[in-house]
A and B are shown apart, each in its own frame.
Chain A
């Protein structure tokens, strides 16, 4: 089975902190994604990466950055956390360029106080 593992299920951080969300996949997938999920808004793409060291902005990249130094790991960074970044964050990975199935991690519920 494909496994996408997010390092934390729950996180509580203070406003202004630098926050790292880590995601690891074990199926050698080229593509990795970070989504933010909020009630009534569905999943919104923050960033995605189609190869090591490659990244592209999604729909809501402001306030976030990403890092992909190794194929299996994709990190989401909140440079200076704010309360409006309190949300559920979902990592996903997929294979290929033509719409293969995306596999999701369990999610990280981040609360910024």
Chain B
């Protein structure tokens, strides 16, 4: 069955520290992969997406993600976290019309 797994429910980092959020997928073929961010009470905003080509993808707000086919992973990274990055992050995969979302990782940033 197709699935997206985000193993970390909560992550806490200090402001200025680096960040890595994990995402693993299970799919018949390499899907399209996305990272979304959701601020409290808001909808989801796209951070970045991977379709093909370069496995290191740059997104908005200083985020990047690396696709690793051998590990079926698409981890999100940021070198230096800002307090405004506190939010919930969702990894998603899509092959056709539909999107499969992970359960999300809630990021807390300590001042």
Interface residues of A (CB under 8 A from B): 4, 31, 33, 35, 40-43, 45, 48, 50, 58, 90, 92, 94, 97-107, 109
Instruction: Show 16 residue pairs from A and B whose CB-CB distance is below 8 angstroms, ordered by the A residue.
Output: A31-B97, A33-B98, A42-B101, A48-B98, A50-B97, A58-B98, A90-B43, A98-B96, A101-B49, A102-B46, A102-B99, A104-B44, A106-B42, A106-B43, A107-B42, A107-B43
Determine if B41 is an interface residue (Cβ-Cβ < 8 Å): yes
A92 to B43, CA, bound (A): 9
The listed residue (B9, B32, B92) touching A98 by CB distance below 8 A is: B32
A4 to B31, CA, bound (A): 25
Interface residues of B (CB under 8 A from A): 9, 31-32, 34, 36, 41-46, 49, 51, 90, 92, 94-99, 101-104
Which of A90, A92, A99 has the most chain B CB atoms closer than 10 A to its own CB? Answer: A99
The listed residue (B42, B45, B51, B98) touching A45 by CB distance below 8 A is: B98
Which of B9, B41, B45 has the most chain A CB atoms closer than 10 A to its own CB? Answer: B41
The listed residue (A35, A41, A94) touching B103 by CB distance below 8 A is: A41
A105 to B41, CA, bound (A): 11
A40 to B104, CA, bound (A): 7
Residues of A within 8 A of B95 (CB): 99
A106 to B40, CA, bound (A): 10
Residues of A within 8 A of B104 (CB): 42
* A79 CB, nearest partner CB in chain B, Å: 24
* A74 CB, nearest partner CB in chain B, Å: 13
A104 to B41, CA, bound (A): 13
